[in-house]
Amino acid sequence: MTKDDRVHFLVIGSGPLEEDIRRIFKSQNLSERLKIAGKMTGSALGDAYHAMDGFAFASRTETQGMVLAEAMAASLPLVGIDAAGSREVIKNEVNGYLLKDQSIEEFSAALYKLLTLPEQRKSFSRASQKLAEDFSIKVCADRGLDIYHKLIARFTPAYKNDNFLRSTMEQIKTEWDLLVNRAEAAGVLLQSEFADTEFEI
């Protein structure tokens, strides 16, 4: 990225590697092209996404791909490592690049392609916007309800069956009777055990 002075890096969030990032950029004489915005939420976060031309995500530990989904909602093409969370969101060469090779060189090359292939970047951007709909609250809620209804349909017939209910109630009654009998037997045993014993309180 040192080849093109149009490239700037916006880092959202903060953490223990912030100083390392600053040091690396300084060692490459690129400090003026690094912007670390810190933690952002709401409209400020939305504005930050919309200020980008592409979204780079190098983490191997994203569990749900939430930041990737947010970036897609802002129509951003994505570059990320093939790992859990990322592979569910990034469709390789559809809305970005999903990298199996985790080398710095490969990651840098993918970012450079986004810069130098504007038509592909636009295509990725359109795909991101379309794919982002799959992560909307309504779609996720509908999926959850669909799973819920399938589970109800699967297990409800057994509960509606009179024979099932009758046999279940009989089993509960049998267990209860056994418990009562054991309690009564224990009570009789205790009474006989301590019949001649005097207690002082």
Same domain, 14 and 58: yes
CA distance 54 to 125: 9
User: What is the tens place of the pLDDT at every residue in 55-73?
Assistant: 999 888 766 668 888 899 9
pLDDT in tens, the chain (201 residues): 566 788 899 999 888 999 999 999 999 999 999 999 999 989 999 999 999 999 999 888 766 668 888 899 999 999 999 988 888 889 999 999 999 988 999 999 999 999 899 999 999 999 999 988 887 778 778 888 888 778 777 766 655 666 777 777 888 888 777 766 666 665 555 555 445 545 444
Query: Which secondary-structure segment (H or E) carries 36?
Result: strand 34-38
Residues 126 and 148 in one domain: no
Same domain flag for 149 and 114: no
The neighbouring-strand residues paired with 38 are: 12, 13
Q: Which of 68, 70, 28 is nearest to 45 (CA)?
A: 70
DSSP 72-135: HHTT--EEEESSTTTTTT--BTTTEEEESS--HHHHHHHHHHHHH-HHHHHHHHHHHHHHHGGG
Total-model pTM? 0.67
- CATH code, 61: 3.40.50.2000
Q: Are residues 103 and 126 both part of a single domain? A: yes
Same domain, 172 and 104: no
> Which amino acid is it at 24?
I
Whether residue 52 is found in the same domain as residue 67: yes
One-character DSSP codes across 138-199: HHHHHHHHHHHHHHHHHHHHHHH-HHHHHHHHHHHHHHHHHHHHHHHHHHHHHHHHTTT---
Question: How many domains does the structure of the chain reveal?
Answer: 2
Position 21 scores a pLDDT of 94
Residue 1 lies in a domain: no
Task: Clarify whether residues 106 and 17 are in a common domain.
Answer: yes
Closest CA to 77 of 119, 114, 35: 114
Domain that holds residue 77: 9-135
Same domain, 38 and 93: yes
> For residues 152 and 160, is the Cβ–Cβ distance under 8 A?
no
131 and 159 housed in the same domain: no
The answer on 113 and 154 residing in a single domain is no
